[in-house]
């Protein structure tokens, strides 16, 4: 359909496309002349991205020499007026999906089992996580496909069971949110039971009194099962076993897991309150010509689609890393000159048709050479061997580093190899707080902290706007 709408498919008559949160960002169709905003927009970033669908230039659109110079926006909800005023958007909140909660609970279960050295329980939790990750593989979602490499990495059980701090951070920060794209229609009750069992198993390992509340909830659910149904009667022995005190007195993670799957097959056969559903409300909006308002607005480069140009520059720099001498210097920590930077800017402009000259000026101009070096490092990273050599003296000076301290140094070197810089405050945030909630202070002694900070100083970026390594 998108190819048809672009004029590259088989249906030339398709000139109008209606979508909800699909075509308003990330699509490039220069021929678009009209945008219809049929809903209120609360995010200023999204609003500018939606406007950006119409800002693409298109030569000879109306004939030879007759280029696209304007486009129209039909704004039915006063969005322009909202953002022209001193509108401050509320902090966005996203409801955590059920499968994200299940994945997070299983991740906590694995962490708890590993901490308590419960091998069977850890293997069980990682097997469940592995199954959840594999369930992402065949999903058609674009959001999931964008993380295909990470999914492939952790579909290998060996990589998953290593459970290094970086692994846990990636699972929690990247993989967990992908679970929202799995289809759970018809299985909501089953996954709710999975969540309950993961929490019970974690509480059991921790010796937490919270398991009593979870037990009451499970028994309440079992009491609601419709015994009159044959599917439920087939599992009656398991139901009765879970309802006995002996089951709970001799409880183990393995015992809970043995009843989870049989119960999840029937948990949807519960009695519940009768729900009454109302018909969807229909609204017929009548257009009144006398109330239509037209306003001509000039586009602002700084407000329209800046992120797209940033991504284009980043993509081009990464592609040029292996062949460009200036980028090689930056990657290997060698000094560069202003002439090097100017030559690199010209090369990016020639190589990429998606980067405008105006944006390139904004990206490269107004910054010192040092500031630009750190901006580019954040994109291309730094040579990992160079970083390892930099910290070799610290490691040799402290041959008795603990496992946590060694892991912390590994995270630090990995961050620098990826971003080329770091600020001190980052050492007190994720992923460093995965090892200890106090970050750097919780892992090293005061004298060691002073040495590490001195080692990090060469990697600290200069203070300038919009930089967050």
Q: Note the pLDDT tens digit of each residue in 233-263.
A: 999 999 999 999 999 988 999 999 999 999 9
Q: Which of 66-80, 230-244, 248-262, 321-335 has the lowest mean pLDDT?
A: 66-80
Report the 3 state secondary structure along the chain. CHHHHHCCCCCCCCCCCCCCCCCCCCCCCCCCCEEEECCCCCCHHHHHHHHHCCCCCCCCCCCCCCCCCCCEEEECCCHHHHHHCCCCCCCCCCCCCHHHHHHHHHHHHHHHHHHCCCHHHHHHHHHHHHHHHHCCCCCCCHHHHCCHHHHHHHCCHHHHHHCCHHHHHHHHHHHHHHHHHCCCCCCHHHHHHHHHHHHHHHHHHHCCCHHHHHHHHHHHHHHCECCCCHHHHCCHHHHHHHCCHHHHHCCCHHHHHHHHHHHHCCCCCECCCCCCCCCCCCCCCCCCHHHCCCCCCCCCCCCCCHHHHHHHHHHHHHHHCCCCHHHHHHHCCCCCCHHHHHHHHHHHHHHCCCCCHHHHHHHHCCCCHHHHHHHHHHHHCCCHHHHHHHHHHHHHHCCCCCHHHHHHHHHHHHHHHHHCCCCHHHHHCCCHHHCCCCHHHHCCCHHHHHHHHHHHHHHCCCCCCCCCC
Closest among 66, 77, 41, 36 to 53, alpha carbons compared: 36
If you average pLDDT over residues 352-373, what whole number do you get? 63
Residue-wise pLDDT tens digits, 202-217: 999 998 888 889 999 9
The pLDDT of residue 433: 85
Select the highest-mean-pLDDT range: 78-92, 322-336, 342-356: 322-336
Residue-wise pLDDT tens digits, 263-291: 999 999 998 654 444 566 666 667 777 77
By percentage, how much of the chain surpasses pLDDT 90?
35
The pLDDT of residue 465: 46
What is the residue-averaged pLDDT of the chain? 83
Does a cis peptide bond (omega within 30 degrees of 0) precede residue 395? no
The pLDDT of residue 51: 83
pLDDT at residue 138 greater than cutoff 60: yes
Angle between helix axes 357-364 and 306-320 (nearest 10 degrees) is 70
pLDDT at residue 76 greater than cutoff 90: no
If you average pLDDT over residues 20-41, what whole number do you get? 79
pLDDT band, very low/low/confident/very high, at 136 (cuts 50, 70, 90): very high
Domain ranges for the chain, please list them: 1-91, 98-264, 306-380, 384-459
The pLDDT of residue 467: 47
Better-predicted residue by pLDDT, 432 or 129: 129
Residue-wise pLDDT tens digits, 99-135: 999 999 999 999 999 999 999 999 999 999 999 999 9
The pLDDT of residue 304: 44
Select the highest-mean-pLDDT range: 52-61, 353-362, 426-435: 426-435
The pLDDT of residue 413: 92
pLDDT band, very low/low/confident/very high, at 159 (cuts 50, 70, 90): confident
Question: Cβ distance 53 to 35 under 8 Å?
Answer: yes
Residue-wise pLDDT tens digits, 47-59: 777 887 888 788 8
DSSP 439: G
β 34-37/72-75 pair status: parallel
pLDDT band, very low/low/confident/very high, at 371 (cuts 50, 70, 90): confident
pLDDT at residue 86 greater than cutoff 80: no
The pLDDT of residue 119: 92
Q: Which of 161-165, 221-225, 264-268, 301-305 has the lowest mean pLDDT?
A: 301-305
Better-predicted residue by pLDDT, 242 or 319: 242
The pLDDT of residue 327: 87
pLDDT at residue 295 greater than cutoff 80: no
């Amino acid at each position: 359909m998108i190819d048809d709408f672009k004029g590259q498919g088989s249906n030339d008559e398709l000139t109008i496309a209606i979508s909800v949160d699909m075509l308003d960002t990330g699509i490039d169709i220069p021929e678009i002349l009209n945008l219809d905003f049929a809903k209120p927009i609360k995010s200023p970033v999204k609003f500018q991205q939606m406007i950006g669908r119409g800002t693409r230039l298109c030569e000879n659109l109306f004939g030879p020499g007759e280029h696209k110079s304007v486009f129209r926006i039909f704004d039915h909800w006063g969005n322009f007026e909202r953002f022209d005023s001193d509108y401050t958007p509320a902090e966005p909140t996203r409801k955590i999906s059920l499968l994200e909660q299940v994945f997070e609970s299983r991740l906590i279960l694995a962490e708890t089992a590993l901490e308590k050295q419960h091998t069977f329980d850890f293997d069980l939790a990682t097997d469940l996580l592995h199954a959840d990750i594999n369930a992402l593989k065949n999903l058609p979602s674009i959001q999931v496909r964008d993380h295909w490499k990470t999914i492939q990495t952790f579909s290998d059980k060996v990589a998953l069971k290593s459970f290094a701090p970086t692994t846990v951070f990636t699972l929690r920060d990247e993989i967990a949110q992908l679970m929202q794209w799995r289809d759970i229609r018809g299985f909501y009750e089953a996954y709710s039971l999975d969540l309950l069992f993961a929490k019970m198993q974690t509480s059991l390992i921790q010796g937490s009194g919270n398991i009593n509340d979870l037990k009451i909830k499970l028994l309440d659910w079992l009491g609601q099962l419709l015994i009159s149904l044959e599917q439920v009667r087939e599992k009656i022995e398991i139901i009765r076993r879970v309802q006995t005190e002996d089951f709970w007195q001799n409880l183990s993670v393995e015992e809970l897991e043995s009843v989870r799957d049989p119960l999840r097959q029937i948990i949807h056969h519960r009695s519940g309150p009768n729900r009454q559903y109302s018909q969807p409300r229909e609204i017929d909006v009548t257009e009144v010509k006398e109330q239509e308002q037209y306003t001509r607005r000039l586009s602002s480069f700084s407000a329209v689609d800046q992120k797209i140009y940033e991504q284009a520059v980043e993509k081009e720099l990464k592609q040029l890393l292996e062949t460009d001498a200036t980028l090689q210097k930056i990657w290997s920590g060698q000094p560069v000159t202003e002439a090097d930077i100017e030559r690199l800017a010209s090369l990016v402009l020639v190589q990429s048709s998606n980067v405008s000259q105006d944006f390139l000026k904004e990206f490269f101009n107004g910054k010192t050479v040092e500031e630009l070096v750190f901006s580019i490092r954040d994109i291309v990273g730094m040579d990992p061997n160079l970083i390892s050599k930099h910290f070799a003296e610290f490691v040799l000076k402290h041959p008795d580093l603990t496992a946590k301290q060694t892991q912390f140094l590994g995270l630090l070197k990995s961050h620098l190899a990826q971003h080329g810089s770091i600020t001190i405050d980052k050492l007190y945030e994720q992923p460093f707080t995965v090892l200890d909630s106090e970050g750097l202070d919780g892992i090293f002694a005061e004298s060691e902290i002073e040495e590490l900070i001195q080692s990090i100083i060469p990697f600290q970026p200069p203070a300038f706007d919009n930089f967050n390594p």
